Structures are given as C-alpha cells and as structure tokens.
Amino acid sequence: MTSTHPSTTDPDLVLASASPRRAEILERMGVRFQTVPQAVDEQVLPDETPEVFVFRLALEKARAGWAGLGGDGHVPVLGADTAVVVDDTLLGKPADRDAALGMLEQLSGRTHRVLTAIAMVDGQRELTRLSLSMVTLRHLGTAEREAYWRSGEPIDKAGGYAIQGRGGVFVEQLEGSYSGVMGLPMVETHDLLTEFGIDYQSRWLAEQ
C-alpha cells in the first residue's frame, strides 16, 4: 500500500516503513514523502551485534523499497530500524503477552540502549546513520506492567514500550535522541536529506 504525506504529487523521498511514528516525525520536519512499507526478515543472524543488525535491516528495507520502484525512482528511499538492547540482549517487538511482560520486567528499574539506524538509497548511493540513546525506566510493578499490556500499546513496539505514548510515564531519564527512541532520529535524518540535496527547509516560511 502506498500513501502520500502530506498530500502532494512531488515527494522528497519514499519511506519504506508502515510506522506511524516515523511518518509523524517526517511530517513534523516538513518533509514530503510517500510510504511504501517493506516486509523483511527480522531474524538476528548468528554472532550479529545489535549495531550491525539495525544497520542491516535499515539497508534491506531501503533497498527493497528501491527495488519495488523498479529501480526507476525519481526520489531516494529511506529505511529505518530500531532495537532496544539490555545486557547485550536485543529486544524486538513482543510476539505476545508473556513476551511483552518479560521485556518490561527486564527493563524495569534499569538503563538500556536504544539503537536506530537509518539508510537512504537512490540506486547510486547508499548512506547510513546511527542514533544511540540511553534510556532509564523507573521500577515497574507487576500490576502496572499488566495494565500497560492491556492498553494494547506494547504489541508493535521494540522493547515492548512506546516513549511517545503511555509508556512515557515509565521513562525516568533519557540521554540521547527522543525522536531516535521513537524510531526516526531527526538530526541524522536531516543529515541524510542534506547529503542527497533535499532542501526541505526552504519550504518552511512558505508553509506558514
């Protein structure tokens, strides 16, 4: 499914993601984009570090998006992937209630890493960036973890929580990028847009 944000026939890029958080961040920045979600295998490879994992998936999503355009796209494709890491263990999206509650218990009262890699491709170049944030959650009681699961928010979130949603009440401290924890770091995204010659900021005054 392809959609355009905001309504325009002249996008700056294609977003290879169905994430509403990533779309929201691009809209905040004033970037014009189309969404062309890409499904890739998110299994961790043997001996793959979390950093390599998120870089690989971000690139695979961007490449798949480019291939889906038939290699004849007029704008670059942006892919992204986010991982929550605690004790060098990578926490993906929980598959069910038990997985989500287990992740929240692991993260309770502790500091963890959030890695978000982004990649942009246009058939000639492939550029990547990495955002690293340190997030500390306060202690979460059993009843609170269960109530959060029942809210429905954890199911499609890396690590089982959403900093921009109800899960934000769990976050005691953040060192790094808030937008990176959401799934698309603004500074690194701006860097790639600049590298690809996309002057999205020139429209800011005209859109007032």
Query: Cα separation of 181 and 115, whole Å?
Result: 8
Query: Cα separation of 93 and 95, whole Å?
Result: 6
Q: What is the 3-state secondary structure (H, E, C) of 141-160?
A: CHHHHHHHHHCCCHHHCHHH
Which amino acid is residue 75, in one-letter code? V
For residue 152 the two structure tokens come to 């429905």
Output DSSP code: residue 201: G
Active-site annotation, residues: 81
Q: What is the 3-state secondary structure (H, E, C) of 62-106?
A: HHHHHHHCCCCCCCCEEEEEEEEEECCEEECCCCCHHHHHHHHHH
CB-based burial of residue 189 (10 Å sphere; 0-12 exposed, 13-18 middle, 19+ buried)?
buried
